[in-house]
Structure 1
Amino acid sequence: MANSHRGEIEAELDGKRFRLCLTLGALAELEHAFGEDDMLGVVERFEAGRITARDTIRILGAGLRGAGYDITDDVVSAMRVDGGAAGYVEIVAALLTATFGAAQMETPAGEGASDPAGKPPQPPLSAPEHKTAPATT
């Protein structure tokens, strides 16, 4: 089961459930793959709202390897998902949102990402708002 507090998601690829997680090592892999100097560069790349098929393969592969699977990008490129290209984008959006937070990452259409099961993303954890009790007279 995926632990959302650790940035993990679950997704169905080739008819099987997989856990994906962009660990620090997976993020370093993406920095290198995309020629970025830091994680902010990776975030900015996707905030621009454009994603290529090659980007999708690299992100899914890094997420699978980050979750402990011994899998190559060539194997990832042959995996199928429900929903075709949109299905891949939904998984990538959910993974990036789980990693960087909903406030930073949005889908290419500009709407908040949802996980592959169609549930809306959970807001980032924050301190509870302190409310003052109404004054009594």
Structure 2
Amino acid sequence: MTGRGEPNEFGRANRRRGEVEAAIDGERRILCLTLGALAELETAFGVPDLSALAARFSAGRVTATDLTRVMAAGLRGGGNRISDDEVAAMHVEGGVAACVAIVGDLLEAAFGTTDVSRRP
């Protein structure tokens, strides 16, 4: 996990490109919400535009399905060939709280500031 803008312990992610790096399933992986990943999320969440997508997450309520979709889109945007179902079966050290933090970091990198979920 990157920790909201500080350099991460892995050193490969480029925040200026919207990248986040996280340990998922025992591997260091780059996640990025590219334009394609954001378009995918607009469709998945049935929102008309990026403003509505950002508003949906800034409300601070997320489901496990939301976490899975955003992480999967971010992983695909980071160059990983992976399905939502594969992401749902992955282990993230730190559990759900770590997943929330990863998604929050991703959305923050993509949109600037986002309060995805009143993270711990």
**Common fold, TM-score beyond 0.5?**
yes
Distance 1:107 1:30 in 2: 15
SS at the partner of 2:90? coil
Unaligned runs of 5+ in 1: 112-137
Q: Structure 1 pair 78/110, CA: closer, same or farther in 2 (3 Å)?
A: closer
1:55 maps to 66
Query: In the alignment, does 2:32 pair up with 1:39?
Result: no
* Per-residue CA distance 1:14-53 (angstroms, 9 max, x = gap): 1110000000000000000000010111100001000000
Equivalenced residue count is 109
Query: In the alignment, does 2:113 pair up with 1:99?
Result: no
SS at the partner of 1:2? coil
Relative to total residues, which structure has the larger helix share, 1 or 2? 2
Distance 2:25 2:119 in 1: 28
SS at the partner of 1:26? helix
Alignment of 1:44-123 (within 5 A): 44-102=55-113, 105-109=114-118
Poorly superposed stretches of 4+, deviation over 2 Å: none
Report which structure shows greater RCO (CA 8 Å, sep ≥6): 2
Distance 1:27 1:60 in 2: 12
Please tell me whether Structure 1 or Structure 2 has the larger radius of gyration of its CA atoms: 1
Instruction: Calculate percent identity across the aligned residue pairs.
Output: 54
